[in-house]
C-alpha cells in the first residue's frame, strides 16, 4: 500500500499544488485516506499532517475513515425527495442493514447522503464508487445490493443495471440520459469540431477575437453575468509569467445539470472554447475543474482531449500558428458547493481547502498560482466558439439588448418533460411552463436555492439580467407541494452543510434562521418571528462570498412571495417572540457546521 501511495505522489511530481489529485487517487485506491497515507503524503510534500487532514475533511467525498468497498452516496436534494428518494433510502437501509452514515461491519457497503449530484431530471439517483445510478426504484436497489453481496465488481454492476459498462460514450449515456428537449446555437448539430481553430484563428489576431466577443455583448453564463470580452481583455493585459484558462464545471447549484449535458454532448465545443480563450489572452494552459459528482466522465473526456491533441486542435503550434501552444488537463473537485465560487475554486485547484479568497485582487490579475487567470463556465466557453464562428453582430440578434444570445436551462420538478432546454434570453416563465408540460403550478425556483422563488403572479416575467437572472436551474413545484417543509427547509439545510465556516454570519445565521423556520412549522411561531427572519437575512449580506450572502434566500424569498404560507402557521394570539432562545440557537449552529473553520482546526 505504501508503495502505491508513493507512486501516486510521484505521478504528480511530488507537487503540493496537486494535493487534490493525490488525495483523490489515494481515496480511490483504498476507499479512504488512512493515517499511514496521510503521514506518507505529508512527509513527501513537506507539509504537516494537520494540513493534509484539514484538506481531506473539507471535502464530502474524501475521508480518513473507511467508507466501504461500495460507497453509496444517495442524493437528498428537494427534487430527489419529490421523485421518491425516501422509499429508496428506506430500501437501502433495510437491504443493507445499516443506517445512512454507517458502514457494514464486514466493510462491504457504506451508505451516505449527498447534496444534488446534477441528476435532477432522472431522480432518485446515487453515486456508487464514482458511477452514477439513476431512476432508482426499490426493486433496483434490492438488485444492486444483491449484486454487491454476490461479489460483482463495478463494471458488472453497471452492466446488470444499465447495459454496456466498458465503452465510454454508450456507457455514459446508458447510465445518464442527456434529455435534450430544445436545441439552440450551443446544442445544435451545426457545430463542426475544429472549424474555428483551423479555419478562423490563423487569420485573426488575439485582439480581434476579444473585440468580437466584446461586440457580441456576451455575459458570463455562470450567474454573475460579467462581460466576457472585458474579462478576457483584462487578463490579456495583466502581467505574469504564465496565463491560465480555467473552465468552471463545478455546477453545484441544486437543480442544475446543463453543464453535464454540454460536456457529454459537446465536449469538443467546450475545449475548443478554452483554446480560443487561450489564444485571446496569450494563455499557456487550460484546466477543466470538474465536480467530483461527474467523475464517471473522466475516461470519456480524456479520450476527447487525446483526439483533439492528435488533430492539433490542442498542443503545440495549434493550426500551424507559430507559438500558439495550449493544452488542457482535467482537475477534479471532491464535493464542495463553495468551490463553484471562483476564488474558492482556485484554492481547491492549488490543493487547499476551498475557502474563498478576499477580493481584490481578482483572478484576472492574480489567479491560479498567483498568475493572471480567466475563469468562465462551461456554457460561456461553448458560446464563445459560436460567436467567433458567426460573428458578434450575428450573436446580438438572439436574446435581448442587455442579455444577448441563448441560455441553457436545466428544468426539473413537477413537469412532464424535465431536461435541458436552450432558449433565447428574454424567454417568459409562462411559456417555459407550457413548453415543459407543467400544470397546476404553485411556484418556480429560479436560479436554484440561492435564487428566487416566484409564484403565478410573476410568471409573466422574463429570463435575463435585467429581470430574472439565472445560472440555469429552474425547479417547478405544483400546488400539492408543501413549499416550506419540503423545499425551503431542504434548501436551508443545504446551505448549512455547505458553508465553509470562515465567516461567523454564514457559519451561524442559516442554522439560526432554520431553527426559527422549524419553530414556525411546528406551530410555535409568532408574528415577530417573521420580522426577525427578514432582519437576519440582511445580516448574511455581510458574508465574504456569494454562498453566505444568498444562504438566507430560500426563507427571504418565500417570505416575500408566499407570506400567507407562513402566516397561517403562526399562533394568532401572540404577537412577540417569547420562547426562542437566540443564544442557544447560535451555540447549536456552531456545533452543526460540518466544515470546521480552519482556525478551529489549528487550535
Ligand atoms: Fe465561507 Fe460562507 Fe464566508 Fe463564503 S460566506 S467564505 S462560504 S463562511
User: What is the full DSSP assignment across 247-286?
Assistant: EEE---STT--HHHHHHHH-HHHHHHHHHHHHHHHT--EE
Regarding the beta carbon of 346 and ligand 1, being less than 6 Å apart is answered no
Could you tell me the CA-to-CA distances from 118 to 256, 287, 299, 396, 560 in Å, in that order? Answer: 6, 21, 19, 30, 28
Regarding the beta carbon of 507 and ligand 1, being less than 6 Å apart is answered yes
**Cα 257 to Cα 119: distance, rounded to the nearest angstrom:** 6
Regarding the beta carbon of 593 and ligand 1, being less than 6 Å apart is answered no
Spell out the residues 6+ positions from residue 103 whose beta carbon is closer than 8 angstroms to its own: 66, 67, 68, 109, 110, 111
In the block, which residue shows the cell 452516496?
Answer: 73
Q: Is the pTM of this model over 0.85?
A: yes
Strand 126-128 to strand 70-75: parallel, antiparallel, or no bridges (unpaired)? antiparallel
**Cα 11 to Cα 424: distance, rounded to the nearest angstrom:** 45
Could you say which DSSP state residue 32 is in? S
- Options 1.20.200.10, 2.60.120.620, 3.10.20.600, 3.40.50.720; CATH for 408-478 is 3.10.20.600
Q: To test the ligand 1 pocket, which listed residue (355, 537, 595) has its Cβ within 8 A of the most ligand atoms?
A: 355
Helix/strand/coil for 475: strand
Could you say which DSSP state residue 314 is in? S
Low-confidence ranges of the chain (pLDDT < 70): 1-3, 162-174, 573-603
Q: Please, how many CA atoms are within 13 Å of residue 198, restricted to the half-sphere of its CB?
A: 9
Structural class in CATH, domain 181-396: alpha beta
Q: To test the ligand 1 pocket, which listed residue (337, 359, 508, 544) has its Cβ within 8 A of the most ligand atoms?
A: 544
Regarding the beta carbon of 597 and ligand 1, being less than 6 Å apart is answered no
User: What pLDDT, on the 0 to 100 scale, is given for residue 172?
Assistant: 66
Regarding the beta carbon of 543 and ligand 1, being less than 6 Å apart is answered yes
Q: Rounded to the nearest whole angstrom, what is the distance from the C-alpha of residue 553 to the centroid of ligand 1? A: 15
Bond before 124 cis per omega within 30 degrees: yes
Q: Which atom of ligand 1 is nearest to the CA of 356?
A: 6
Regarding the beta carbon of 236 and ligand 1, being less than 6 Å apart is answered no
Regarding the beta carbon of 426 and ligand 1, being less than 6 Å apart is answered no
User: What pLDDT, on the 0 to 100 scale, is given for residue 155?
Assistant: 80
Alpha helices, DSSP H, located in 15-99: 19-30, 35-45, 49-56, 78-82, 85-96
CATH classification code of 483-590: 1.20.1440.230
Regarding the beta carbon of 500 and ligand 1, being less than 6 Å apart is answered yes
Q: Which atom of ligand 1 is nearest to the CA of 501?
A: 8
Regarding the beta carbon of 336 and ligand 1, being less than 6 Å apart is answered no
Regarding the beta carbon of 450 and ligand 1, being less than 6 Å apart is answered no
Q: To test the ligand 1 pocket, which listed residue (506, 508, 541, 546) has its Cβ within 8 A of the most ligand atoms?
A: 506
User: What pLDDT, on the 0 to 100 scale, is given for residue 603?
Assistant: 44
Q: Which atom of ligand 1 is nearest to the CA of 344?
A: 6
**Cα 403 to Cα 461: distance, rounded to the nearest angstrom:** 14
C-alpha of 525 from chain center: 34
Could you say which DSSP state residue 310 is in? H
Contact 388, 279 (CB under 8 A): no
Q: Rounded to the nearest whole angstrom, what is the distance from the C-alpha of residue 338 to the centroid of ligand 1? A: 8
Q: Please give the CATH superfamily to which domain 70-165 belongs.
A: Glutaredoxin (3.40.30.10)
Amino acid at each position: 500500500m505504501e508503495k502505491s501511495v508513493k507512486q501516486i505522489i510521484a505521478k504528480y511530481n511530488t507537487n503540493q499544488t496537486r494535493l487534490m489529485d493525490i488525495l483523490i487517487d489515494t481515496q480511490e485506491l483504498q476507499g479512504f485516506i488512512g493515517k499511514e497515507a496521510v503521514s506518507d503524503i505529508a512527509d513527501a510534500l513537506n507539509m504537516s499532517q494537520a494540513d493534509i487532514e484539514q484538506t481531506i475533511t473539507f471535502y464530502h467525498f474524501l475521508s480518513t475513515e473507511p467508507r466501504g468497498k461500495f460507497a453509496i452516496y444517495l442524493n437528498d436534494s428537494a427534487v430527489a425527495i419529490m421523485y421518491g428518494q425516501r422509499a429508496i433510502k428506506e430500501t437501502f437501509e433495510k437491504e443493507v442493514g445499516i443506517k445512512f452514515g454507517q458502514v457494514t461491519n464486514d466493510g462491504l457497503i457504506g451508505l451516505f447522503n449527498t447534496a444534488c449530484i446534477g441528476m435532477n431530471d432522472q431522480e432518485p439517483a446515487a453515486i456508487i464508487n464514482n458511477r452514477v445510478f439513476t431512476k432508482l426504484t426499490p426493486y433496483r436497489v434490492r438488485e444492486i445490493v444483491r449484486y454487491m453481496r454476490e461479489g460483482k465488481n463495478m463494471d458488472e454492476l453497471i452492466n446488470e443495471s444499465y447495459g454496456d459498462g466498458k465503452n465510454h460514450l454508450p456507457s455514459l449515456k446508458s447510465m445518464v440520459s442527456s434529455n435534450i428537449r430544445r436545441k439552440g446555437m450551443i446544442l445544435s448539430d451545426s457545430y463542426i469540431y475544429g472549424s474555428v481553430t483551423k479555419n478562423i484563428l490563423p487569420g485573426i489576431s488575439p485582439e480581434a477575437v476579444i473585440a468580437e466577443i466584446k461586440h457580441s455583448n456576451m455575459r458570463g453564463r455562470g450567474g454573475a453575468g460579467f462581460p466576457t470580452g472585458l474579462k478576457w481583455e483584462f487578463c490579456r493585459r495583466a502581467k505574469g509569467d504564465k496565463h491560465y484558462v480555467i473552465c468552471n464545471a463545478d455546477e453545484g447549484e441544486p437543480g442544475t445539470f446543463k453543464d453535464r449535458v454540454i460536456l457529454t454532448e459537446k465536449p469538443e465545443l467546450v475545449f475548443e472554447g478554452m483554446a480560443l480563450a487561450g489564444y485571446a489572452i496569450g494563455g499557456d494552459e487550460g484546466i477543466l475543474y470538474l465536480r467530483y459528482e461527474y467523475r464517471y466522465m473522466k475516461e470519456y473526456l480524456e479520450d476527447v482531449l487525446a483526439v483533439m491533441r492528435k488533430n492539433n486542435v490542442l498542443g503545440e503550434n495549434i493550426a500551424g500558428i507559430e507559438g500558439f501552444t495550449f493544452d488542457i488537463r482535467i482537475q477534479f473537485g471532491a464535493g464542495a458547493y463553495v468551490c463553484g465560487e471562483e476564488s474558492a475554486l482556485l484554492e481547491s485547484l492549488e490543493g487547499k481547502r476551498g475557502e474563498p479568497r478576499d477580493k481584490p485582487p481578482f483572478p484576472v490579475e492574480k489567479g491560479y498560482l498567483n498568475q493572471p487567470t480567466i475563469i468562465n463556465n462551461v456554457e460561456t466557453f461553448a458560446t464563445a466558439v459560436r460567436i467567433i464562428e458567426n460573428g458578434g453582430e450575428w450573436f446580438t440578434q438572439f436574446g435581448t439588448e442587455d442579455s444577448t444570445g441563448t441560455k441553457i436551462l436545466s428544468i426539473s420538478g413537477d413537469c412532464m418533460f424535465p431536461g435541458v432546454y436552450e432558449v433565447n434570453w428574454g424567454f417568459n416563465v409562462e411559456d417555459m411552463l407550457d413548453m415543459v408540460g407543467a400544470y397546476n403550478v404553485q411556484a418556480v425556483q429560479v436560479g436554484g436555492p440561492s435564487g428566487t422563488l416566484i409564484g403565478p403572479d410573476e410568471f409573466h416575467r422574463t429570463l435575463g439580467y435585467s429581470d430574472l437572472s439565472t445560472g440555469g436551474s429552474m425547479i417547478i413545484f405544483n400546488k400539492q407541494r408543501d413549499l416550506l417543509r419540503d423545499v425551503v427547509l431542504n434548501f436551508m439545510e443545504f446551505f448549512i452543510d455547505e458553508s465553509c465556516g470562515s465567516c461567523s454570519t454564514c457559519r451561524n445565521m442559516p442554522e439560526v434562521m432554520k431553527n426559527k423556520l422549524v419553530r414556525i412549522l411546528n406551530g410555535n411561531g409568532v408574528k415577530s418571528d417573521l420580522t426577525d427572519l427578514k432582519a437576519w437575512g440582511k445580516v448574511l449580506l455581510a458574508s465574504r462570498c456569494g454562498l453566505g450572502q444568498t444562504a438566507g434566500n430560500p426563507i427571504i424569498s418565500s417570505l416575500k412571495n408566499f407570506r400567507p404560507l407562513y402566516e397561517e402557521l403562526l399562533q394568532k394570539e401572540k404577537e412577540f417572540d417569547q420562547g426562542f432562545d437566540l443564544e442557544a440557537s447560535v451555540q447549536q449552529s456552531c456545533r452543526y457546521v460540518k466544515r470546521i473553520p480552519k482556525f478551529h482546526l489549528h487550535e
